Structure 1
Amino acid sequence: MDQSKDLPASPLESLRVINWAQVQAAQEWIHVRGLSLQQAFVLSHLAANPGAIQRDIARATRTTAANVSGVLRGLEARQLVERRFEGGDERSKRVFATDAGIALVAGRDEAMAAADESILAPLTESERTTFQVLLDKITAGLSNPGDS
């Protein structure tokens, strides 16, 4: 059987395959916890940024305040987040991940690092260094999707 048909057609297609493997690992990690992708993003953001306001959560998760409101309702129903009034002002609600919410998303960075390690496992240390140098060269002139 000709295996060349199964190989990516270009280096960028290979990067898409790598990205797909990363996404699959992340989705599996999220699924096991009974979260949606948006819930996981919001909960992770709140674990790192306790007391955020809804508008800031929307900005950080690149969605609308209305969408965040729905996500927060679902997380509140599971007692994973709580909204608190700041200084008794009902117009100023801050959102906090509960201990249960923080525990649910704990270990995400380690799980993703393990997935990356699995993806890079076929490469020697020297090959990894070369790969990183080449990727740095390619991405040097590109905008980062995380930049506003």
Structure 2
Amino acid sequence: MARRSAEPANGSAPAARQVPMRDFSRSLPMSLLRAREAVMRQFRPSLRQHGLTEQQWRILRALAAIETVEVTELARTAFLLGPSLSRILRDLEARQLIERRTAKTDQRRSMVSISEKGVKLMASVAPSSEAIYAEITRRYGVRKLAELQEMLGELEQSLAGLGASEEAIAEE
């Protein structure tokens, strides 16, 4: 089977190459997504063995770090959209991995915490999770991993206010 050339018949460069932007594969968002995917590929089999999705695990991890949290704050902490979080919370609640109750101060707000069963599940996942972290650290290096986490934190901080004024205007 003959491959067709991506070059136009007139010999000019394809339209995509005329866009004055860095190469797609070298864009920061794509680099971060590729790195995230490489990391998550290591964790997914273990999560699947325990009947968890990445998002469910992210919520349990966030809840394990705090006593109780309001649902909208949990959405921000776990980087999930409200509708997705609602569905995931329903699933986790049905499995009795979380507990949800109405806030005493505002009946419209829902508070969430990890249940004892959720803590036990996390304890069963923890050894394989830590083994995966150990292997990532062994392959990438303790120093480089610490530097990467520090640099990512610095990147996040340096961009924290960027675009905030446009978002505030759009919300008004």
What TM-score results when the alignment is normalised by the length of structure 2?
0.57
* Structure 2 CA distance for partners of 1:122 and 1:97, relative to 1, 3 Å: closer
Q: How does 1:8-23 map to 2 (within 5 A)?
A: 20=38, 22-23=39-40
Structure 2 unaligned blocks of 5 or more: 1-30, 161-172
Alignment root-mean-square deviation, CA? 3.6
Superposition misfits of 4+ residues, deviation over 3 angstroms: 16-19, 107-113, 119-123, 139-142
- Secondary structure, in 3 states, of the residue corresponding to 1:143? helix
Aligned position for 1:106: 123
Residues 23-42 of structure 1 aligned to structure 2 (within 5 Å) = 23-42=40-59
SS in 2 for 1:83: strand
For 1:131-142, list aligned pairs within 5 A: 132=144, 139=151
Aligned to 2:79: 62
* CA deviation after TM superposition for structure 1 residue 27, in Å: 0.9
Q: Distance in 1 between matches of 2:116 and 2:125?
A: 16
| Larger RCO of the pair (alpha carbons < 8 Å, separation 6+) | 1
Does residue 78 of structure 1 match 2:95?
yes
Aligned amino acid, residue 56 of structure 1: E
Within 2, Cα distance between the matches of 1:76 and 1:140? 33
Residue type of the alignment partner of 2:66: N
Identity fraction in percent = 26
The AA in structure 1 aligned to 2:75 is A
**Structure 1 residue 53 corresponds to structure 2 residue 77:** no
Structure of higher CA gyration radius: 2
Distance 1:142 1:121 in 2: 24
Structure 2 CA distance for aligned equivalents of residues 140 and 25 of structure 1: 20
Aligned length: 126
Deviation sequence 1:92-142 (CA, Å, 0-9, x none): 32101110111112265653442233345468xxxx47x639x56xx4896
| Structure 1 letter corresponding to 2:88 | V
Q: Distance in 2 between matches of 1:143 and 1:108?
A: 30
Q: Which residue of 1 aligns with 2:109?
A: 92
**For residues 143 and 95 of structure 1, do their structure 2 counterparts lie closer, same or farther at Cα, with a shift above 3 Å needed?**
same
Shift of 1:64: 1.3
Q: 1-side partners of 2:101 and 2:87: how far apart?
A: 17
Q: Please give the alpha-carbon distance, in whole angstroms, between the structure 2 residues aligned to 1:18 and 1:41.
A: 14
- 8 Å contact from structure 2 (residues 99, 113) kept in 1: yes
